[in-house]
Structure 1
Amino acid sequence: MNKTIYDVAREAGVSMATVSRVLNGTAVVKEETKAKVLAAIELLGYRPNAVARGLASKRTKSIGVILPDVSDLFHAEILRGIEDIATMYQYHIILANSDAREAREIDLIGTMWEKQVDGLLFISEKITPDIVRTFEQAQLPVVLCATDDPEGRIPAVSIDNQSAARDAVDYFLEKGVRRIAYLGGPTAHPVTMERLKGYTAAFQAAGLPFDQELVLHADTLKYEDGYAQAKRFLDQGHTAEAVVAASDELALGYLNAVRDRGGKAPDDVLLLGFDNTRLSTMTRPELSVIAQPTYDLGAVSMRLLTKLLNDEQIDEYTVRLPHSIIERTSTQRNETAAEDPNR
């Protein structure tokens, strides 16, 4: 992998801005510091981007977007919102996939800095101290999208994940359902853990016992891992009346694990997904969901970034967009569901 300006800064123990000053001669730098930077450049074999250097200190009207997977339907819809607002304000997007790997995220932040983007929109599973330090070194305006900084240090746009999961459980409790499972992602994933907190809080508020047996953690939020975790759960003889899944794909994984055992939804299990991607209406039964305003997450994040870039008044640096429950046939045990031959 090519070395970036971030690698040079880390090796020399200085900020990326200092490395830029040495490369571009835009400001006086102490000889000792300059020597460290030049030594780091030689050691790493770093080759500066000549085009980016020529753009130093100028607006490029470009925005960097770093996200885990552009092929993921949830991220793709967010990107539509970002692009529409970026176009409105005459910015163009430089897009990069991080594969949800911290080392690659850090490398990409440096790469975006080299490209002289005016600001950065960042979508990630987890904001770590190393990520925050890299943001600080890059000295770029940053907005988190569908991502939270637990310390509240970075402007962010998301939903209230705890509240959403709590609403999901309450939805089933109001139907008289008590044995409700939670199918989430890995325990290191902050968003899925926020949803787990909301899930457990709902039982506590209702004065009902919490059954740890009904908490399932898939390796990712993807379909294959949801299926594998659901199959393991069912093969061990466990059952659930209803399932709150942390993504639409996890919910569909559980649905097909039930089907492969000869079961049906909603007859044998009620299923509630999370996100409201196109997948939720492409299956039978159609999937009830906690709907995130996916397009708006991207659009509002981009608009917040333009405010930062243009020194506009900002009323909220942490924005919580509303969620909703969309009820479809996967949670409806009624005549309409019974008439659907494709359930």
Structure 2
Amino acid sequence: MEKQTITIYDVAREAGVSMATVSRVVNGNPNVKPATRKKVLEVIDKLDYRPNAVARGLASKKTTTVGVIIPDVTNMFFSSLARGIDDVATMYKYNIILANSDENSQKEVQVLNTLLAKQVDGLIYMGNDISDNIRQEFSRSKTPIVLAGSVDPDEQVGSVNIDYVAAVEAATTQLINAGSKQVALVTGPLNQPINGQYRLKGYKQALEKAGLAYDESFVFETETSYHAGLSLFNQLKKAGANAAVVGDDEVAVGVLDGALDAGVKVPADFQIITSNNTKLTEMARPQLTSIDQPLYDIGAVAMRLLTKMMNKEDIDEKTIRLGFDITTRKSTR
């Protein structure tokens, strides 16, 4: 038997009140007599009435829904950001639709358009690569968009992140000061601004300040996976590196295990600093030294910035940079 859809009309008829009264009760409007409210709530309970979000959206021109595009739902970096986004969304009574883009630029455009078709009031984008296609879709859309934990070098789109240049410079300098003169940079594709324009710049600045020559054979582009890090260690060794700043924690654990498999002692013979300080850094042995970016806060602040945009509030600054630290553990000397 097909489940009948219970409408606001059915609730009003059963409770002997107007539809406006039911609407007030459902929306938490205080202008309802306590006895009436109680009666309406009892009927809602009995009929198992659920307000139709689509109909409400049509009436108010708002769906109170936010789309979140996440490149890889299994990566702890993104899931930590998502926690912060979700908590603030709940606080401001927004629902979230989470969409996985698999770090694939065609799929990203597709996912973006699917979310826009669902009439979301705003979007949070977590991808590291803002392709020209995605940028085109961003500028065509009237929907407010905020980047979380990613960068827009043109600063056209609102974003919340840390100073990736300063963070990588500090990490590289720490390795050099601890006696490693052959520091490698292990990062995602350099055509992504966060890597090619920010992390690489910080790395070069640290070398320059230490009076060391930049050697591009010490820069490694890799996928963000454990296996990519594991198979990379032999190349790092072949290049003559004795330390690495790694852009992703899963990759860093792979590099660490690759070193241990090769009988290389960490940190005595090879030092590692990773970038996201997710739970993985403490699960690894030895535990990993990491740039500590406040992932939960980045997500939370991004969602708060988006609520301001959606409500057309005044915004002082569209690019928000939060502070970072370096948490020293056992993978550095």
Q: TM-score, normalised by structure 2?
A: 0.80
Partner of 1:58: 61
C-alpha separation between the residues in 1 aligned to 2:176 and 2:59?
58
C-alpha separation between the residues in 1 aligned to 2:331 and 2:156?
39
Partner of 1:307: 308
C-alpha separation between the residues in 2 aligned to 1:104 and 1:217?
22
Q: Any residues of structure 2 matched to 1:79-158 within 5 Å, and which? A: 79-158=82-161
Partner of 1:202: 206
Partner of 1:265: 266
Secondary structure of 1:94's aligned partner? strand
* Aligned residues of 1:52 and 1:115 also touching (Cα < 8 A): no
C-alpha separation between the residues in 2 aligned to 1:289 and 1:57?
46
* Aligned residues of 1:276 and 1:290 also touching (Cα < 8 A): yes
Tell me the CA shift for residue 206 of structure 1: 2.5
Tell me the CA shift for residue 169 of structure 1: 1.1
C-alpha separation between the residues in 2 aligned to 1:136 and 1:238?
43
Amino acid in structure 2 at the alignment position of 1:144 = L
Tell me the CA shift for residue 89 of structure 1: 0.6
Q: Cα distance 1:69–1:241, how it changes in 2: closer, same or farther (>3 A)?
A: same
Q: Does 1:291 align with 2:289?
A: no
Uncovered stretches (5+) of structure 2, i.e. residues with no partner: 1-53
Tell me the CA shift for residue 249 of structure 1: 1.6
Partner deviation per Cα, 1:80-100 (whole Å, 9 max, x = no partner):
000100011111101100111
* Aligned residues of 2:123 and 2:143 also touching (Cα < 8 A): yes
Q: Any residues of structure 2 matched to 1:120-269 within 5 Å, and which? A: 120-193=123-196, 194-218=198-222, 220-234=223-237, 237-269=238-270
Q: Cα distance 1:52–1:276, how it changes in 2: closer, same or farther (>3 A)?
A: farther
* Aligned residues of 1:56 and 1:116 also touching (Cα < 8 A): no
C-alpha separation between the residues in 1 aligned to 2:227 and 2:192?
17
Amino acid in structure 2 at the alignment position of 1:100 = E
Secondary structure of 2:285's aligned partner? coil
Q: Does 1:74 align with 2:98?
A: no
Name which of structure 1's ranges 225-234 and 245-254 shifts more when overlaid on structure 2: 225-234
Tell me the CA shift for residue 208 of structure 1: 2.0
Amino acid in structure 2 at the alignment position of 1:71 = T
Amino acid in structure 1 at the alignment position of 2:92 = Y
Secondary structure of 2:331's aligned partner? helix
Amino acid in structure 2 at the alignment position of 1:196 = L
Amino acid in structure 2 at the alignment position of 1:244 = V
Tell me the CA shift for residue 136 of structure 1: 2.5
Secondary structure of 1:196's aligned partner? helix
Identity %: 42
Tell me the CA shift for residue 133 of structure 1: 1.6
C-alpha separation between the residues in 2 aligned to 1:116 and 1:53?
12
Uncovered stretches (5+) of structure 1, i.e. residues with no partner: 1-50, 333-343
How big is the alpha-carbon RMSD for the aligned residues of Structure 1 and Structure 2?
1.9
Secondary structure of 1:55's aligned partner? helix
Q: Cα distance 1:252–1:56, how it changes in 2: closer, same or farther (>3 A)?
A: same
Partner deviation per Cα, 1:260-317 (whole Å, 9 max, x = no partner):
1112211211111110011000011000001111101100000000111112221110
Q: Cα distance 1:101–1:273, how it changes in 2: closer, same or farther (>3 A)?
A: same
Secondary structure of 2:97's aligned partner? strand
Q: Structure 1 segments of 4 or more deviating over 4 A?
A: 51-54
C-alpha separation between the residues in 1 aligned to 2:116 and 2:147?
16
How many residue pairs match? The answer is 280
C-alpha separation between the residues in 1 aligned to 2:292 and 2:147?
19
Secondary structure of 1:209's aligned partner? coil
Q: Cα distance 1:320–1:303, how it changes in 2: closer, same or farther (>3 A)?
A: same
Tell me the CA shift for residue 54 of structure 1: 7.2
